[in-house]
Amino acid sequence: MKAADRLTSLLQTLKARHRHRALLPRAGLDFASNDYLGLAESGVLTLAAQEALARGVPLGSGGSRLLRGNHPEHEALEAEAAAFFGAEAALYMGGGFQANQALFSTLPAAEDLILHDELVHASAHEGMRIGRGQTRAFAHNDPDAARAALRDWRDAGGTGQVWIAVESVYSMEGDVPPLADFAQLAAEQDAILVVDEAHATGVFGPRGAGFAHDLPCDVLSLHTCGKGLGASGGIVLGDKVMIDTLINRARPFIFATAPAPFAAAIVRAALKALQDRPALVEAAQSRIQHAHAEARRLTIPGTILQSQIIPVILGADDRTMRHAQALQDNGFDVRGIRPPTVPRGQSRLRLSITGNVSHAQITDLFETLNQQLQETP
């Protein structure tokens, strides 16, 4: 069978199973993006962009950072990010996926164990797939399961460094793990706790610095810049030796064109906004609390209420997409999430409480969804 015929058949199968994806234009109120503070199209970052252009910050880098692509704007961002997030050193890359891929494929050695939550992001899995470290998954948000998996590995002869990989807010569940318990396990085992802060950055912790900055163990963290910070890129933070190793050995960093210095300037402005404008985080928390209260008031089924990400788990793919379309028809940009992004039988609406909606609009969304679920279960 020719490749085109095979791929056409694959796409037809996806359509029949209600799993076909397509790029859709922006329409309706933003309950779909990760722009949690509303910075992406804000005057704050627009002004920062104008100022960066005025002082001659380049729009492109022209090459990898180990060639001619390195720029003072990158280095300024890394120094400021390390100070802001409380780390010894930082490394700015083109995106969170690239950064996760780089650290998991580069830092663990062949004799090491990467002990990871079963729901860590696809980028972490991709890094583990191409890396050398041994891997073990543990049940979601379960430190006891992690401890048992680690004990089994040790009993089987494992002697290397242990890396414990978790997220601080999970992108599809919206839940928060017991980080203190994982930090305790890491400290007990002399392990390194790797925390993906992608969906906590800008929303949780002091000044929006996330959850990982003051954990009592060795921590390597990732903060993405295209979600709460409203810009683009990803920043890995940790001990200087870790960052130097990534610079010297991480193929996703070495062989990639550097992020535009202009993009680094925008991230710098976003971090400064978090420092100077505590109301940004306070407003995000207010919206989250209001959304949780409305979901409880209307008894929306299948919800997890721990963060700005609220999944409404409906189960069947077709049911999920039908309700997503109905919400879109009513002016709410809500997307349906299906396997393989989530496990089979757990298709869901992913409600994202962004900085682009008001309390009243949040109430309208939940009331509309509640009516839909009653009229068309």
Q: Residue 214 has what pLDDT? A: 86
- Does residue 148 share a domain with residue 50? yes
pLDDT at 376 over 90: no
**What would the two tokens of residue 8 be?**
């056409």
- Does residue 60 share a domain with residue 15? no
Select which of 196, 197, 317, 333 is catalytic: 196
Q: Can 171 be counted among the known catalytic residues? A: yes
Select which of 167, 197, 294, 333 is catalytic: 167
Could you list the residue range(s) of the whole structural domain that residue 367 is in? 3-30+279-375
Select which of 71, 74, 116, 121 is catalytic: 121
Select which of 33, 100, 141, 171 is catalytic: 171
β strands within 181-323, DSSP E: 192-196, 218-224, 234-238, 309-315
pTM equals 0.94
- Does residue 113 share a domain with residue 212? yes
Select which of 199, 223, 292, 323 is catalytic: 199
Q: Can 33 be counted among the known catalytic residues? A: no
Residues 6+ apart with CB under 8 A from 325: none
pLDDT at 377 over 80: no
Q: Can 152 be counted among the known catalytic residues? A: no
Q: Which helix (H) or strand (E) holds 8?
A: helix 3-16
Distance CA 18, CA 14 (A): 6
Select which of 33, 34, 61, 307 is catalytic: 34
- Does residue 134 share a domain with residue 269? yes
- Does residue 103 share a domain with residue 13? no
* Model confidence band, residue 163 (pLDDT cutoffs 50, 70, 90): very high
For residue 191, the domain's CATH number is 3.40.640.10
Q: What is the mean pLDDT of the chain?
A: 96
Q: Can 196 be counted among the known catalytic residues? A: yes
Domain count, the chain: 2
Q: Can 370 be counted among the known catalytic residues? A: no
Beta strands 234-238 and 218-224 are antiparallel
Boundary residue ending a domain (224, 245, 276): 276
Q: Can 167 be counted among the known catalytic residues? A: yes
- Does residue 225 share a domain with residue 320? no
233: phi then psi, degrees, rounded to nearest 5: 110, 180
Q: Judge residue 248's burial from the number of C-beta atoms within 10 Å of its C-beta, 0-12 exposed, 13-18 middle, 19 or more buried.
A: exposed
* Model confidence band, residue 342 (pLDDT cutoffs 50, 70, 90): very high
Q: Can 34 be counted among the known catalytic residues? A: yes
- Does residue 105 share a domain with residue 13? no
For residue 298, the domain's CATH number is 3.90.1150.10
